[in-house]
């Protein structure tokens, strides 16, 4: 079989063979030597950018760089300057350039050198391989957004062809569209599903309404990888039941790499081969494993653009069982900018609102999906898609739960919608603060 995927990467100048050798060499480093390896790679990438990157040198200033914790935290606000001003010497061309989705509120253009991006691809290939998926031969059912402009649309469709992917539209997931998606699974021999969590969950709810297990109509399916949005425990149970295959939780960032990927043991294994991940408190000090904090990431290989102690905008917890070689993500709590500020002065992650409401609002299977917006200090709007309006009993239950878990006297209004507005890439933001 012609390995179109590998061939495409090679034609585009990504040194995949060299990346594979480097990645597999890192896999062979022993647990006892891994801390030394990480510390050396950190020192090496910092020194490279101090010597070759004016943007990073100015950011560091005259700090003592011998102490890792002295290095500045790189924020997305720092990166709101033209890309040309952030590139390293010698990496002005022949690099990979892309744009973040902007789900954090601060989109920006970034760059990777070709070797660094080849490592990212191999990182994906390696981890998907845990579940018997081969990017050259496995057929993917893709629940992702697609650019709406003509050039972007056809470019993405061509990439899908090369990567053996069939892309489903996710901007309209009405029952009529979901019925068509189900027909494709009956007709095509898909090996795996990959896509945004909310879209795959919506499809699983459609299957539930018809009492259909997807594996029964598409026996070739092996596994489903969900990404880009929170996967709640009850949604994972629903997916496992109505897709009939293992569900793998993926956590990544386009400007970096796969950050964490659920391994076959069910552990959310952090990528320690190409990245160094820290959890820091509000004062940018490391917290103990098992404690929540800001996720801060260092790309150990990207020479074209510095991502050193880069605050990605998420809050998470590393497992107490984590080691230097095998860090484990215990929990991803949500985005740092998705915080509800309440009249009492209390601050609560927006996903707390979402989760408390979710346990009631989806109980009877009527509500397909919903989002919460904070419009004032004490006021919230819930937009939801359902066959019939929420009952007064459900609304009372939500109010009681919010009073109990957050605080009383918060006002909620409810709006039933035909569909929810997604980002231009098809992501659904579960909580938004308009304050």
pLDDT of 1: 37
- Does pLDDT of 426 surpass 70? no
- Does pLDDT of 106 surpass 70? no
**Band of pLDDT at residue 385, cut at 50, 70 and 90:** confident
For residue 334, the Cα-to-chain-centroid distance in whole angstroms is: 10
pLDDT of 161: 77
pLDDT of 186: 96
- In angstroms, the Cα distances linking 371 to 16, 56, 117, 272, 350 are 41, 38, 34, 34, 11
pLDDT of 87: 96
pLDDT above 90 covers what percent of the chain? Answer: 57
**Band of pLDDT at residue 291, cut at 50, 70 and 90:** very high
* Stronger pLDDT, 278 or 393, i.e. the higher one: 278
- Identical fold for domains 4-335 and 339-433, yes or no, is no
- Does pLDDT of 245 surpass 60? yes
* Stronger pLDDT, 394 or 29, i.e. the higher one: 29
pLDDT of 148: 60
* Domain spans in the chain, listed from the N-terminal domain onward: 4-335, 339-433
Is residue 14 within 8 Å of residue 114, measured between CB atoms? yes
What is the pLDDT averaged over residues 86-111? 81
* Stronger pLDDT, 404 or 38, i.e. the higher one: 38
What is the pLDDT averaged over residues 206-233? 93
pLDDT of 364: 61
For residues 390 and 205, give the distance between their C-alpha atoms in angstroms, rounded to a whole number. Answer: 18
Question: How many CA atoms does the CB half-sphere of 427 hold within 13 Å?
Answer: 15
**C-alpha closest to that of 243 among 226, 276, 221, 228:** 221
Whole-number average pLDDT of the chain:
88
> What's the CATH code, domain 339-433?
3.30.300.30
Is residue 374 within 8 Å of residue 340, measured between CB atoms? yes
pLDDT of 198: 85
- Does pLDDT of 269 surpass 80? yes
What is the pLDDT averaged over residues 100-113? 73
CATH superfamily of domain region 4-335 = ANL, N-terminal domain (3.40.50.12780)
* Stronger pLDDT, 338 or 412, i.e. the higher one: 412
Lowest mean pLDDT among 108-122, 166-180, 331-345, 399-413: 331-345
Alpha helix locations (H) across 218-256?
Answer: 233-243
For residues 414 and 418, give the distance between their C-alpha atoms in angstroms, rounded to a whole number. Answer: 13
3-class secondary structure, 22: helix
**Band of pLDDT at residue 366, cut at 50, 70 and 90:** confident
What is the pLDDT averaged over residues 406-431? 82
pTM here is: 0.83
């Amino acid at each position: 079989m012609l390995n179109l995927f590998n061939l495409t990467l090679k034609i585009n100048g990504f040194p995949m063979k060299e990346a594979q050798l480097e990645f597999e060499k890192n896999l062979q480093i022993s647990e006892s030597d891994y801390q030394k390896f990480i510390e050396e790679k950190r020192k090496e990438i910092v020194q490279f950018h101090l010597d070759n990157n004016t943007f990073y040198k100015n950011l560091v200033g005259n700090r003592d760089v011998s102490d890792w914790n002295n290095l500045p935290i790189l924020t997305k606000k720092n990166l709101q300057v033209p890309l040309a001003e952030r590139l390293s010497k010698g990496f002005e061309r022949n690099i990979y350039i892309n744009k973040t989705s902007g789900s954090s509120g601060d989109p920006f253009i970034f760059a990777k050198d070709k070797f660094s991006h080849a490592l990212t691809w191999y990182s994906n290939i390696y981890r998907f391989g845990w579940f018997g998926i081969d990017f050259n031969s496995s057929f993917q059912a893709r629940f992702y957004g697609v650019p709406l402009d003509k050039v972007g649309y056809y470019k993405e469709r061509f990439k899908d062809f090369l990567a053996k992917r069939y892309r489903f539209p996710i901007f309209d997931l009405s029952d009529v569209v979901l019925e068509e998606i189900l027909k494709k699974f009956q007709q095509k021999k898909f090996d795996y599903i990959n896509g945004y969590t909310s879209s795959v969950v919506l499809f699983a709810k459609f299957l539930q309404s018809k009492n259909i297990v997807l594996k029964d109509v598409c026996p070739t399916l092996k596994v489903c990888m969900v990404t880009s949005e929170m996967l709640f425990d009850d949604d994972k149970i629903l997916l496992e039941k109505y897709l009939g295959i293992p569900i793998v939780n993926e956590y990544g960032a386009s400007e970096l790499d796969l950050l964490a990927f659920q391994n076959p043991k069910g552990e959310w294994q952090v990528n320690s081969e190409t990245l160094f991940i820290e959890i820091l408190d509000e004062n940018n000090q490391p917290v103990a494993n098992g404690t929540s904090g800001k996720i801060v990431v260092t790309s150990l290989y990207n020479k074209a653009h510095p991502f050193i102690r880069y605050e990605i905008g998420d809050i998470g917890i590393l497992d107490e069982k984590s080691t230097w070689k095998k860090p484990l993500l215990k929990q991803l709590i949500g985005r740092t900018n998705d915080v509800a500020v309440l009249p009492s002065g209390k601050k609560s992650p927006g996903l707390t609102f979402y989760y408390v409401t979710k346990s009631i609002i989806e109980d009877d299977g009527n509500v397909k999906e919903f989002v919460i917006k904070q419009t004032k200090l004490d006021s919230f709007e819930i937009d939801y898609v359902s066959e019939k309006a929420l009952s007064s009993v459900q609304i009372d239950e939500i109010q009681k739960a919010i009073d109990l878990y957050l605080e009383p006297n918060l006002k909620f209004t409810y709006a039933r919608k035909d569909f929810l507005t997604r980002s231009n890439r098809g992501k659904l933001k579960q909580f938004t603060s308009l304050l």
